[in-house]
Structure 1
Amino acid sequence: MRTASTGTLVRGVPVRDVLSLSSLSGAELMAGERGLDRVVQRLNVMEVPDILPWTKPHELLLTTGYPLRETPQSLCDLVTALESRRLAAVGIKLGRYLDELPADMLAAADRVGLPIIRLPDDVAFDDILNQVLTDILNRQAAVLARSEEAHRALVSVVLAGGALEAITDELSRLLGGTVMVTTPDGRLLASSDSRNEDEAARQAAPATRRALFDASGRFRVERFKHGAGALEDPGTGVALVPILAGALDHGRVVLISAGRTLDESDIQVLERAAATAALVITKDLAVAAVESKYQGDFMRDLLAGRAGDPAHTVRHCASLGWAIDRPLIVVVAQLEPGESPDPDSDDLRPAHERFATAWGMVVRERDARAAVVGYSQEVVVVMGASQRTAPGETVRQMVTQVSGDGGGGRRSFSTGVSRVVTDPALLPEAYEQARRAAKVGRQMHGPGGIADFDSLGVYRLLSLVPDSAELTSFMRETLGELASREDEETTDLRTTLEVLLDTNLNVAETARILHFHYNTLRYRIGKLERLLGAFTTDSHLRLNIMLALQVRRMRGL
């Protein structure tokens, strides 16, 4: 069980279960019903006035009221003090030293949620002590036995060569419900139903699904801490345990169980599973690191045109699981420069590793034979071009999945898409197209921009100008005051100019679009010509102005 205030896993017996024991038959809950889920780990007897310094958290405190008989007026303060020490509950016998408890004491107990229990007159303290402590020990023994059974089963799975899917299947058998292994930011790595990775989401009610998963299918790890989580849907239990190996956070083990409340034994089994999963992930990462370096070096040669004979290149890529003898597109996704990691993220891996992992998972859902290689600041994807969906639309869908809803500590990135190529020899050219599209997309739309090379238009030419200062100078000389002033009048004039040029100087259509009177627009055109020159009759000046407006839209100059 987990305490709400600290999030620490606490093993013991809830107060409500203690009240069901035979030794407390006839006990009466006088106040603090809200605290019945507090956990009892130990017991104590208070028969001296200075018991407060000796109380401990999660303790059931028993008393006859003897030390309180002389100062009933201080009982309200005592409740506050016991609550500050995280006491589980107070059991008191009335009639011998105290006939009743003050109303303000009971009100204080209700306010802080500290259960006050009236003990039966005929029960001895040693009977309560023996029975409660026996129940605590029996429960802990059962938890340890279940945890040990799970540990043996999981170790057998790993020794037999089982991967993460085998671990989730075994956990599902042991615990019931759906078990998932995710990345630190919530991307699904394995599920107990390998045939349908969204089964966990479908088992829950729609409102619960939205609480657990975002629109891209990412589990919302940021909403849950170590242990069992609370949902608005009481019929669905959720528990999460991090997968840690030294200082590295490798992900989460998640249990979603409909129809029962998860308890501490479930958490202990998940903790054992997390340790086992860490071994599997660490082994896989070691293998992947070697493969990734080799694949990354070969991809560099391929995109630089140094891979050698085309037939040999196709065969070598096939040995890596890549198919390049088909229509392809190249996608370049670049992390935004200078952006610091999310301080709230628990993932200690380098950002580019998490970034490459996310892209690899999303791309291979669509194309198992695609190449996905991560470098220090960018991920390069070489994938098949769909005949049914435009490349730009496909990539936008993938970007949505990689980005998620912003949870999990992800950083923003810009994405560029090349033209479709049908010859592997054209991949270097396609790579440069994708990189240029990513750069121009960032200039046009800011961080997180997505651009298709074919849709860049004149920006492809402008991006080739190496001297950004020259572009800025051209823009300012051509537009004059319209280049940099941001007052309302200048902004309106700039908008009028852009719409006028877009309509090919159609004054009537421009007036309709801007909701101006025809004469008002003629007046504005005259003012623009006084600022810029006779652009309505000079086609060369008009071309310069249109180019200058495009330069002004570009960022990062």
Structure 2
Amino acid sequence: MENVANVVPPQRRDLPVAADYALTVRGLLALPSLAGAEVAAGAAGLDTVVRWVNVMEVPDILPWVKPNELLLTTGFPLRHGGQGGTFDPSVVARLVDGLAERGVSALGVKTGRYLDELPPDMLDTAERHGFPVLVLPRGVAFDEVMSEVFTQLVDRQTWALDVADRLHRTLTALVLGGGDLPQIAAEVAALFDTAVLICSPDGRVQTTGGAEANSAALAALPLFDPSGRFRTEQVHAGLQDAPDATGGQLAVARVIAGGTDHGLIAAYGPNGGLGPVTVQALERAATVAALAITKQLAVSAVESKFRGDFLRDALNGVAGPPELVTEHCAQLGWDVDRPLAVIVARLDESSGPASVAGRTPMDRLTAAWEQVLRARDRAVPVVGFTHELVALVPAEPESVQRTVAELVSSVAGDRGGGRRSFSTGVSRVIGSIADLAAAYEQAGTAVRVGRRTHGPGAVAHFDGLGVHRVLSLVSDPGELRAFAAEVLGPLGADTPDALDLRGTLQELLDRNCNVAETARSLHFHYNTLRYRITKLETMIGPFTSDANLRLDVALALRVVQMRGL
């Protein structure tokens, strides 16, 4: 997305100041009711998050505990957990083992009446797991502790909702005032001190935001393919650890509007610490991003219709004199006064769905080509029609093949996001817009013949079509099939023997019927190849001595190579 020139800089003073959302065991020790609590073991786990609080009343509590839970107990369940209700230190140690394995945040024990001190085995086990065991003040009431913990949890949840709501209102005002995706990404990145990325459903990056160090850390993640596509298939909505082994975290939210998937927004904290509040705020930001994208798509639809109609007229040679076409293109932001090659891309047949989340495969292909080309040159004409995409790419005759190969590779990426295969045709390089109609016809011929000759995903240049270009001019495919069947006879069948013999025949023709060279190329014994030649001449005639027959055979083999006849 592009920055809007007249956007007023965002007023970050309207946003809440980021704070520590998570309530940890260490934070609990600052509560009045737990001010006198002592950490008996497991101090390494004091930064574990607490989301629940419960009281242990029976020894067999393990089936009912939850992750991130603070468990409170007296010495009674611990004292009577052994066989026959007796005290068994090993049972208490196994209880700590089970609590740590289930993700319980900490165990608070009130000693005194039933248990004077905690057994060493229990404390050793807690220390080994980094599982905090707290000795509570004897006069503390559990309901007082639970009330204060719940109050802290509710306060933090209220603060998280306030952050998300105020961020949503600020971003909405920004978009309604003319802002776009770059401003949204910058706001979210500044609030949480993260790098923020907004991309299309298949991972084409729309914009990024955040401090330079954070953005560089995001770019270094193994979540981008060589074309720069963000690997959306490797992340999921919500909070997750980043695949960087340095403690970084990713928060991801889908950008969806009216049932249409517009991509995702992701926030990356190199040092972690994002928490649920980031996810909640990001979901609100995703809603606003969907509004901005919908607005931009509505404007683009009108502009694209106008541009597409004009380019179609220019491609068909009915847009007016070359000078007028060049001037009109300049008004549309296109530079066509330079050497150009016309590229035509068409989707290959597929059994997949006609559309994905409201976007047709042609829409997705057009968006990918636009993003790749405009990253190189914003003045390149790129228009998607109903059945094909057309681009006028600046190129020189000696470098056009390399340029097109790089473009196709970048657009195809690693085929993430459900993008379908497409075939590409390339015209000769033209030096004047007066030759545009002829170049468009060349590119159309190249993509059609290239797909027939090489199958789906072909990239064909008009100058490289050879005799296939002449064969493509035959309007009746049945006539071509009849010609091939007449010349090749049983050799034109799709049986393994016929395919093998056709390969030998093609190699012979490619080497001007030089038996010795062909035998070496195919790794055949000389006599074996002579035997095959005799068999071939029995089937199709004396092609080794009849030049006219050799020409017919060579053309027939080319026809057989062409698909879809």
Q: Give 1:444 deviation, angstroms.
A: 2.2
| 1:355 and 2:365 aligned | yes
Q: 1:545 aligns with which of 549, 553, 556?
A: 553
User: After superposition, where does 1:109-148 map in structure 2 within 5 Å?
Assistant: 120=136, 122=138, 123-148=140-165
1:511 to 496, 519, 532: 519
Shift of 1:390: 2.3
Q: Does 1:285 pair with 2:293? A: no
Matched residue SS, 1:212: coil
CA contact (8 A) 1:13 1:135 kept: no
Counterpart of 1:329?
341
1:261 CA displacement: 3.3
Match of residue 184, structure 1, among 201, 216, 226: 201
Deviation at residue 120 of structure 1 after TM alignment: 3.8
1:477-488 equivalent positions in 2, closer than 5 A: 477-487=486-496
Is the Cα contact below 8 Å between 1:342 and 1:411 reproduced in 2?
A: no
Q: Quick one: distance in 1 between partners of 2:156 and 2:202? A: 34
Does 2:404 match 1:395?
Answer: yes
Task: After TM superposition, give the deviation of residue 145 of structure 1 in Å.
Answer: 4.6
Choose from 257, 275, 278 the match for 1:263. 275
Q: 1:270 to 1:493 in 2, by over 3 A?
A: same
Cα shift readout 1:6-54 (whole Å, capped 9, x = no counterpart): xxxxx97466556765628435679xx9x99986434343548999999
Q: Is the 1:88–1:114 contact (alpha carbons within 8 Å) kept by the matching residues of 2?
A: no
2:314 aligned residue:
302
1:536 Cα deviation (Å)? 0.4
Deviations 1:270-294, CA, capped at 9 Å, x for gaps? 2332222222211111111111112
Is the 8 Å Cα contact of residues 42 and 60 (structure 1) preserved in structure 2?
A: yes
Name the aligned partner's letter for residue 380 of structure 2. A
Paired residue secondary structure (2:379): coil
CA distance in 2, matches of 1:94, 1:246: 58
Q: Is the 8 A contact 1:88 1:115 kept in 2?
A: yes
Distance 1:253 1:454, change over 3 A: same
Q: After alignment, is 526-535 or 478-487 more displaced?
A: 478-487
Q: Which amino acid aligns with 2:447?
A: A
Q: How far did residue 175 of structure 1 move? A: 2.5
**Equivalent residue runs for 1:7-46 within 5 Å:** 13=22, 23=34, 25-26=37-38, 40-45=50-55
CA RMSD of aligned residues (A): 4.1
In structure 2, relative to structure 1, the CA distance for the partners of 1:337 and 1:12 (3 Å cut) is same
Q: Return the TM-score normalized by structure 2.
A: 0.80
Aligned-residue offset at 1:264: 2.3
Which runs of 5 or more residues in structure 2 are unaligned?
1-19, 86-90
Alignment partner, residue 228 of structure 1: 239
- Structure 1 CA distance for aligned equivalents of residues 397 and 151 of structure 2: 67
Q: Are 2:372 and 1:372 equivalent residues in the alignment?
A: no
Give 1:66 deviation, angstroms.
6.2
Distance of 2:215 and 2:512 partners within structure 1: 53
- Residues 1:217 and 2:234 are matched in the alignment: no
Aligned to 1:433: 442
Partner of 2:455: 446
Deviation (angstroms), 1:320: 1.3
Q: Deviations over 1:168-193 (max 9, x none)?
A: 23333323242222112111112227
Whole-Å Cα distance in 2 between the matches of residues 486 and 97 of structure 1?
A: 88
Moved more, 316-325 or 212-221: 316-325
CA contact under 8 A between 1:216 and 1:401: conserved in structure 2? yes
String of CA shifts for 1:315-362, please: whole Å, max 9, x gaps. 22222112233322211111123441499x7x4422222221111111
DSSP-derived class of the 2:536 partner = helix
TM-score, with structure 1 as normaliser: 0.81
Distance of aligned partners of 1:94 and 1:520 in 2 relative to their CA distance in 1, 3 Å threshold: farther
Q: 1:548 to 1:20 in 2, by over 3 A?
A: farther
Q: Tell me which residue corresponds to 2:537.
A: 529
Distance in 1, Cα, partners of 2:47 & 2:456: 48
Which residue type is aligned with residue 264 of structure 2? Answer: R
